[in-house]
Structure 1
Amino acid sequence: MKKEKEIKPPIITDIQAIFDRARQAAIRSVDFERVMMYWQIGRRIIEEEQGGEQRAIYGERLIPYISEQLMPTLGSIFSTRNLIYIRQFYRTFPIANALRSQLSWTHYRSLSAISSIEKREFYLSETIKNNWTARQMERQINSHLFERLLSSTDKETLLSVARNEKQPADPKDIVKDPMILEFLGLKPESSYYEKDLETALITHLQEFMLELGNGYSFVARQKRIHLDGDDFFIDLVFYNRLLQCFVIVELKTHKLTHQDIGQLQMYVNYYDRIEKLPHEMPTVGILLCLEKNDTVVKFSLPENANIFASKYQLYLPTADQLQSELQKELSKQNVQ
């Protein structure tokens, strides 16, 4: 006989909630004390570097010297690597009163690695606003949310998805355009083939799935389908659990043609008719190409088709390009 779920009286629920809030506050308090401790250590290191007279110790040897003296008794927080992080943290955030209690040391360590002030302030502000964990913030940094916002024509949607204010409800919400594939290490000026691109993506599958967005899991590479004596091979197949649908990715290292679109349409039709379960949403197809003609895409497909063309870039925008986009955004805000 199935045991009925116990209904707790309000007083028990209230006390548990009070306890949980207090415990979280205590954890945040301890985390912030740790941040302040590291800030003070970083300040002391900088003061010693700037004022020290014994150059053999106070030059390049200072941090290794501190580590040698303190790590054996005080532990790995005084490792050379962590001391370098601590010094960089103080240099990046030299005003103690500006430190935010909502952020942990892991938050600040990642933020300290960002050289751009505007970019760093953006992630700091968004992390506090959305209560991101250190891992969630790092995911947004690694997926280049800041750079995307500067070059996006739909900033509100992009930002709302990143903030989890909006869960993807339409296939176009899970397709990024462009996709930044800098992590592949392929040089734009070099010639390479679709097989090279596919191999690089598989080698860097974790980074590619991060670039694709939320909710993706890997299904297959070079998925073979047999159609009345002919074999075809789909480059990459993923599944998106947020939309509950298969996502097929075809790779093209040339300018997109209508034949490429027709090929992907066939693959999407196959998955919809053979692989898709009744409760799942229609399959989404993504043509990842070096160059595309949006008009060709538009007229090669029926309206409301679940097929999208996305350009890929092998490098991020330059600092000058980002600064230019940032100035445009600031100008728009001043006008408003």
Structure 2
Amino acid sequence: MLTNASLISEIKNIISQSRDNAVRSVDYQRTLMYWHIGQRIFEEEQNGEERAEYGTYLIKYLSEQLQPEFGSGFSYRQLNWYRQFYKTFPIMSALRTQLNWTQYKLLTSIDDAHKREYYIAESVKNNWSARQLERQINSSLYERLLMSNDKESVLAIAKGELIPNDASQIIKDPMVLEFLGLKRESAYYEKDLEESIITHLQDFLLELGNGFSFVARQKRIHLDGDDFFIDLVFYNRLMQCFVIFEIKTHKLTHEDLEQLQMYVNYYDRMEKLEYENKTIGILLCADKNNSLVKFTLPEENKSILASKYQLYLPTESQILEALKTEFDEFKKDQK
């Protein structure tokens, strides 16, 4: 027999799940309503002789007729959104029940189809809220992954069609840590950055991406009387390996890389199980010299990566410049 506590717990879970399902159902029905309205507006526009002028008149007229009775959800601006929503997602059966209207509004503003597909796949797979989706779009997540990978692989990994086999396929460079609330101008120690990451662990995991879980902070390693402490240890279930983070608030040096290599070697020899893949080490640094990284590490290196962090959201021009630099370096390496 169930105890009273177990019975209450089960019933509470049933109530919570039912409420969540009801909210999702209402959200989806509202999304479908907006899609159908957008479809009718678009179809009516196509029958107008002067399409651009008629479209403006039509939406303005509809707003005047609908808003007094149904409220601000049918303002001129909102009706324009519904029309654009239909144009962006013309196949109703392709709409995802896991996404709400706020998320679709964010997705509708993305012109690039590949980029939009990526955010849809990631939102569904990771159960992102609208706030989380907005943050990932604003932090240029898609573009940052493209710096180390190609469009097809980024999209395939997001859809679950491809299992990442290289750390560069899932580790972003730069990492955007604006959620830590640290000022760009402030001088601070590595322990300050580490403590702030732990305080905002959920946001940091979101920035890390798929498959990460937290393992340890200041992991102690004892080697013949000497103690060493690894800043942060995570595990990635997609790649089936430990991921070690060392935080440096200065421009990285070859000594930093050598220290991290020692930690990676220790985990591979002492912590890793036979079926697991090799440990990955990430130097999260304030600045880096790509040539120093390239020539300090072996040519076949896939275990150690350096990722620059920034404490503010990147601008579009910064992302474009970073992509151009990455492409120029790639062309240089091919010569």
Sort the TM-score into its range (normalised by shorter chain). Answer: 0.5 to 0.7
Residues 207-263 of structure 1 deviation map (CA, whole Å, 9 limit, x = unaligned): 211211211110000111111222111100011111211111000010000111111
SS in 2 for 1:267: helix
- Following the alignment from structure 1 to structure 2, what is the Cα–Cα distance between the partners of residues 249 and 237? 6
- Following the alignment from structure 2 to structure 1, what is the Cα–Cα distance between the partners of residues 123 and 244? 33
Residues 183-221 of structure 1 deviation map (CA, whole Å, 9 limit, x = unaligned): 212222221211111011111111211211211110000
Residue aligning to 1:218 = 214
Shift of 1:91: 4.8
Q: Which amino acid aligns with 1:103?
A: L
- Following the alignment from structure 2 to structure 1, what is the Cα–Cα distance between the partners of residues 235 and 244? 8
Residue aligning to 2:45 = none
Residues 73-129 of structure 1 deviation map (CA, whole Å, 9 limit, x = unaligned): xxxxxxxxxx7799975452245753552325743222325795537x666555678
Instruction: Go from structure 1 to structure 2 and tell me whether the alpha carbon gap of 1:322 and 1:228 turns closer, same or farther (over 3 Å shift).
Output: closer
Matched, 1:155 2:145: no
SS in 2 for 1:92: helix
Matching residue within 303, 308, 311 for 1:311: 308
Instruction: Go from structure 1 to structure 2 and tell me whether the alpha carbon gap of 1:220 and 1:104 turns closer, same or farther (over 3 Å shift).
Output: same
Written as runs of structure 1 = structure 2, the 5 A alignment for 1:1-80 is 33-37=29-33, 51=64
The two structures, once aligned, show a CA RMSD in angstroms of 4.3
Written as runs of structure 1 = structure 2, the 5 A alignment for 1:173-252 is 173-252=169-248
Q: In the alignment, is the contact (CA less than 8 A) between 1:291 and 1:311 conserved in 2?
A: yes
- Following the alignment from structure 2 to structure 1, what is the Cα–Cα distance between the partners of residues 281 and 174? 15
Report the TM-score, using the length of structure 2 for normalisation: 0.65
SS in 2 for 1:118: coil
Instruction: Go from structure 1 to structure 2 and tell me whether the alpha carbon gap of 1:91 and 1:186 turns closer, same or farther (over 3 Å shift).
Output: farther
Q: In the alignment, is the contact (CA less than 8 A) between 2:121 and 2:159 conserved in 1?
A: no
- Following the alignment from structure 1 to structure 2, what is the Cα–Cα distance between the partners of residues 130 and 289? 27
Shift of 1:170: 2.4
Q: In the alignment, is the contact (CA less than 8 A) between 2:138 and 2:313 conserved in 1?
A: no
SS in 1 for 2:292: helix
Q: Which amino acid aligns with 2:195?
A: T
Residue aligning to 2:81 = 92
Structure 1 portions without partners, runs of 5+: 1-27, 67-82, 328-336
Residue aligning to 1:19 = none
- Following the alignment from structure 1 to structure 2, what is the Cα–Cα distance between the partners of residues 266 and 181? 27
- Following the alignment from structure 1 to structure 2, what is the Cα–Cα distance between the partners of residues 286 and 312? 11
Percent of residue pairs bearing the same amino acid type: 50
SS in 2 for 1:220: strand
Matched, 1:103 2:102: no
Residue aligning to 2:16 = none
Q: In the alignment, is the contact (CA less than 8 A) between 1:31 and 1:104 conserved in 2?
A: no
Q: Which amino acid aligns with 2:312?
A: Y
Q: Which amino acid aligns with 1:270?
A: Y
Matching residue within 277, 283, 300 for 1:281: 277
Q: In the alignment, is the contact (CA less than 8 A) between 1:297 and 1:309 conserved in 2?
A: yes
Q: In the alignment, is the contact (CA less than 8 A) between 1:177 and 1:310 conserved in 2?
A: yes
Shift of 1:269: 1.4
Structure 2 portions without partners, runs of 5+: 1-23, 42-58, 325-335
Q: In the alignment, is the contact (CA less than 8 A) between 1:222 and 1:233 conserved in 2?
A: yes
State the number of aligned residues.
273
Matching residue within 251, 268, 275 for 1:272: 268
- Following the alignment from structure 1 to structure 2, what is the Cα–Cα distance between the partners of residues 313 and 123? 22
Shift of 1:140: 6.0
Instruction: Go from structure 1 to structure 2 and tell me whether the alpha carbon gap of 1:167 and 1:137 turns closer, same or farther (over 3 Å shift).
Output: farther
- Following the alignment from structure 1 to structure 2, what is the Cα–Cα distance between the partners of residues 240 and 127? 21
- Following the alignment from structure 1 to structure 2, what is the Cα–Cα distance between the partners of residues 133 and 103? 15
Instruction: Go from structure 1 to structure 2 and tell me whether the alpha carbon gap of 1:183 and 1:228 turns closer, same or farther (over 3 Å shift).
Output: same
Residues 33-66 of structure 1 deviation map (CA, whole Å, 9 limit, x = unaligned): 43244578999xx9799759xxxx98xxx99xx7
User: Higher mean Cα deviation, 232-241 or 157-166?
Assistant: 157-166
Q: In the alignment, is the contact (CA less than 8 A) between 1:287 and 1:309 conserved in 2?
A: yes
Report the TM-score, using the length of structure 1 for normalisation: 0.65
